[in-house]
Structure 1
């Protein structure tokens, strides 16, 4: 990739608040003693993946709650929050990072979630991309190891050589997840766009989403 400017992918933003003391403390605690960016990224990836339980049933859509620094104060999060923290942490160590979003179809069989959403399509699923060794690497530090074992799917590991974006099949070869629509890459969480898409796809939850209130599914 030639003539690319990384400034926007290194600076703190509203949601990727890499200048926040809580985020910097999180990075320091999980990269102490590590010397290379690759080793630091791997440590941060696993700290986010397994240190914060994946929980899609408590969704706080307020602007404050979606900042990376806010996640450091609890032990759970969903895809956008966890990917945001990883991307933010990458910026702290000087690695360009950005957010990606897509709609995915869930084949996990989570009846409770599907009943509330009234669909098995998850809108604006979040992942992160980091720029390592001359290329963008897709990373999804979302589904913690314990959850993956429970769902009979291999956890996504961090690899600087190839993308780790989603589990297409479980260990038995059954369909697990599939990507339906790619929204593109962003230097920050496109909050207003995100909220509009949620309200468009889940109109029955539109009022709670528009108020930016905690939704407990």
Structure 2
């Protein structure tokens, strides 16, 4: 079958169509996503690589990273809702990045993994039952005919507070969590990959969180994380 045109006018293989679609969670036709992209790319960008890189840094640093209070409900995980709040968990921020990419015709997929985070605070370790976090999210981006991975999650402030080097992305090499930080201390390692997804498998993620991290899941519908503050954890201040 013939290729179909993408938003930027180029032919798009049918195998990539699902990686461009608007979904319940990747709601790239929303006003919030449209305004975010317009603010980041007022000139439209030079090419797909330039657009992907600029959007990456905007999501990484303009949206705060916060695990506490994270809303895992269907509404709470939409890209538009995260943009309204201005903060989110790795899943929220990855979905925003995918929405922004797809809005300018760049295919993207959600990657879900289990990781061991050696820099988790004592409070987080208690809440999640150790240092293994299930369903950590990042993205896979289709640029120049191939897939590269990008993790627009930890903003500069969070990296500084926790002694982590911010992850850079140039559109050509994978940007994933470094196993070591500058002083050699272990930061994060990937333990298991659940796969790449054209859309968020919401029930799978929610069931997995409830099963693996029951102590941090609260609320009448058990679909949000307990309140708190990563900044307070890092600085010793009260949340």
State the TM bucket, normalised to the shorter chain: over 0.9
State the partner residue of 1:19. Answer: 29
| Worse-superposed segment, 91-100 or 25-34 | 25-34
The answer as to 2:112 corresponding to 1:101 is yes
State the partner residue of 2:97. Answer: 86
- What is the Cα deviation at residue 84 of structure 1? 0.7
- In the TM superposition, what whole-angstrom CA distance separates every residue of 1:13-65 from its partner, at most 9, and x where no partner exists? 11001111111111111011122111111111111100011111121111101
* Structure 1 unaligned spans of 5+: none
Correspondences of 1:1-217 after superposition (within 5 Å): 5-33=15-43, 34-205=45-216, 208=219, 210-213=221-224, 215-217=226-228
**Which aligned segments of 4 or more residues in structure 1 are displaced greater than 3 angstroms?**
203-211
| Worse-superposed segment, 28-37 or 63-72 | 28-37
- What is the Cα deviation at residue 206 of structure 1? 5.7
Q: RMSD between aligned alpha carbons?
A: 1.7
* Structure 2 unaligned spans of 5+: 1-12, 229-239
Which whole-Å CA distance do the structure 1 matches of 2:165 and 2:150 have between them?
15
- In the TM superposition, what whole-angstrom CA distance separates every residue of 1:74-131 from its partner, at most 9, and x where no partner exists? 2211100001100110000100011000010110041111111222111100101110
- What is the Cα deviation at residue 176 of structure 1? 0.5
CA 43–108 in structure 1, closer or farther in 2 if over 3 Å, else same: same
Which whole-Å CA distance do the structure 1 matches of 2:23 and 2:120 have between them?
36
Which whole-Å CA distance do the structure 1 matches of 2:222 and 2:127 have between them?
18
TM-score by length of 2: 0.85
Q: Is the 8 A contact 2:127 2:216 kept in 1?
A: no
TM-score by length of 1: 0.93
